Amino acid sequence: MSTTPFKLAIAALGGQGGAVLTGWLIEIAEANAYLVQSTSVPGVAQRTGATLYYLEFFPREAGGREPVMALMPVAGDVDCVVAAELVEAGRAMARGLVTPERTTLIASSHREYTISERSAMGRAVATEAELIDIARVQAKRFILFDMADMAAKRDSVISAVLLGAIAGSGVLPFRKDAYQGAIRRSGLAVETNLAAFDDAFHAAAPGTVARPESTAPARLSVDIPPHARTPVLQNLLLRLRELPLSVQPLALASVRRLIDYQDPAYAKLYLERLGRIVRLEAAHAAASGDWSLSEATARSLALWMSFEDTIRVADLKTRGSRTAEVRGEMRASPGQLIDVVEYMKPRVAEIAGTMPATWGQRLQRSAWATRLLARFTGGRRVRSTTITGFLMLRAVARLRRWRRGTLRYQIENSRIEQWLSRIEQVSAGNHALGVEVARAQRLIKGYGDTHEHGWRSFASLMEQLEGLQSRADGAAVLARLQAAALADEQGSALALELVGLGAAAARVAPPAAAIEHA
C-alpha cells in the first residue's frame, strides 16, 4: 500500500461545476474508507483565471497514523491534473504540475476564450495544436476529448463528464458504481448526468481515448455559385469571376458580409475598389504569380467597409440568431422566458456619428450642446427582451438605409479612399511595403475608445510611409510597427518603436552643415 497520498488537481472555470465535482469526489472517497482533503484557490474572475481545486486521497488504515496533507499542489508532485478547458491544461503545464514520469492529464479539447484573448488588439488566441503536442510529450498519459460537446448532447453539465473521465481513466481505486451513486444521491438531473458520465467513462477508458478533430484552420471554399437569386446579385457574381482565383474566396465572403451589412450596391462599391488594386498588381502577378496585395486588400477593405457603428451594433443585438444563441447558452427550454440586459455606454461621438453629417458636425462644434448631451450618455442598461427595449434598438438598426448620409459613414468613407490611394502610390514602387499598408487596417477595429486607439496607431504608421519607401527593409519595419501597435491598447510599445525609428533615421541622415558644404 502506498505511503503517500494520491494528489489530484482540477482547473475549472466559473460555472463549470468544479465545486460540485470536488464534492462528488470527497463523498466517494469517504464512502470508500479514504481520508481526503481539499482546498481551492479561486481565479480573479470567470475568465481571467480558473479556480484550482486540489485534493489529496489516502486510504484510512485501522490503527494507522494519519498522513500530513498539503494545501496546494507542488510542481512535479501531482498524480492527475483535470482541466475543464484546453488552455487551462496549458496553464497547468506551465506551472509544472504535469510531468512525464508521473502525471495523467485529463482535458477537454474545447475552448472558452480568455479575457486577454477576447480583448487583445491583435490575434491572441492560443494555438490548440501546439498545446496538444506539448501535452502529449509532457504528460505520462494524456486523455483528451470534447467534454463540452459531450455534455451538450446529453443536456447535462461538464462536471458530470469530468467525473466520468476521472472514473474511466482508473487513476482512483474506486468502482464505477461508487461514482454513479454520488450522482444519484445529489438528486439533480440524475438521468442526464448519468448518461453524460457513462459516455465520458467509455471515452476515457484505456485504449479507447477519443481524439479531437484536426485543428487546422478552415479554408474558404473557392466555388463561386453559378446563379444568384436576382439580376443584381448575378452581376456581382460575374464581377467576382473576373478576379484572380486566389482572391475570389475572400471576395465572395466579403460581398456576402457587405450585403448583410448594407445592400448589394455597397458590395458593388467594394468590388470596384478591389478591382483598382487587382489591376494595379496585374503586372507584378504576371511575372511572379503573387497576388498578395490583392488578397490583403480584399480582406482589409471588407472589414473597414463594415465598420461597427451604432446602427450595426443595434442590428446584431436584435437578430433572431443572437436570441437563439443566448437561449442555447442559458439552456432555456422551449417557451421559457429569458431576460437579456444590454450594457451600453454611447459617447457623444457615437451619437453625432449616427446623425446626418451636417447635424453631427454642428453638434461636435457646439461646446454647450456637447456638454449637455454628455450628461445623458453615462452607462445605460437596455433590456432587449422587453417590447420597449427591443423596439428602441430596432429603430436604431432601421437607420441602415440612411447610413450613407451619416457623419460616421462620411468620415470612414474618406479614410478608406485615402488608404486605398496610399496603397496604390506605395505599391507602385515597393510591392512588399504596399502589402503591409493593406494589412495595417487590422489596427482599426471595434468602436468607442478601442476604435480611437486603433485609428491613432494607424495614423502614426501612415506618417512613416515617406521615410520607409526609400528603405530596403521598409516592409519589415512597417510589419514590426504593426506588431508593436497591437501589443497594447495604450500605444506604449509603438511609441518606443517610433522613438527608435526616429533615432535610427537621425543617425543615417548626414548633418545639415555637411549637406551645405557638399
- Examine the domain organization and report whether 72 and 162 are in the same domain: yes
> Is 127 among the domain residues?
yes
Answer whether residue 209 shows pLDDT above 60. Answer: no
Given 145, 171, 204, which residue is the final one in a domain?
A: 204
Q: pLDDT for 107-117, tens place per residue?
A: 998 877 655 55
pLDDT at 510 over 60: no
In a shared domain, residues 368 and 462: no
503 falls within a domain: yes
* Grid coordinates of 380: 445605460
Question: Residue 104: which H helix or E strand, with range?
Answer: strand 104-108
Domain that holds residue 483: 434-518
Does 496 share its domain with 359? Answer: no
Residue whose grid cell is 444568384: 228
Domains of the chain: total:
3
Residue 252 lies in a domain: no
Same domain, 81 and 125: yes
Report the 10 Å Cβ neighbour count for 252: 21
Contacts of 264 by beta carbon, 8 Å cutoff, 6+ apart: 232, 233, 236
Residue 350: its H or E element = helix 348-354
CATH code for the domain of 158:
3.40.920.10
Comparing 3-12, 42-51, 82-91, 130-139, which segment has the lowest mean pLDDT?
A: 42-51
Residues 170 and 32 in one domain: yes
In a domain, 448, yes or no: yes
Whether 515 and 455 map to the same domain: the answer is yes
pTM (global) more than 0.75: no
Which of the listed residues 159, 177, 204 is the one where a domain comes to its end?
204
> Confidence band (pLDDT; 50, 70, 90) for 270?
very high
Boundary-marking domain end, from 204, 227, 259: 204
- Tell me the pLDDT tens digit for each residue of 121-147: 555 555 677 788 888 889 999 999 999
Is residue 17 a part of any domain in this protein?
yes
Domain check: are 383 and 454 in the same one?
A: no
Instruction: Let me know whether 391 and 458 are in one domain.
Output: no
CA distance 416 to 410: 10
Task: Say yes or no: 367 and 477 in one domain.
Answer: no
The pLDDT of residue 217 is above 70: no
For residue 326, being part of any structural domain is answered with yes
In a domain, residue 336? The reply is yes
Q: Which amino acid is at 24?
A: W
Looking at the fold, whether 379 and 475 belong to one and the same domain comes out as no
Same domain membership, residue 18 and residue 131: yes
**H helix runs in 214-263, sequence order:** 231-241, 248-261
Contact 338, 326 (CB under 8 A): yes
Q: Is residue 419 part of a domain?
A: no
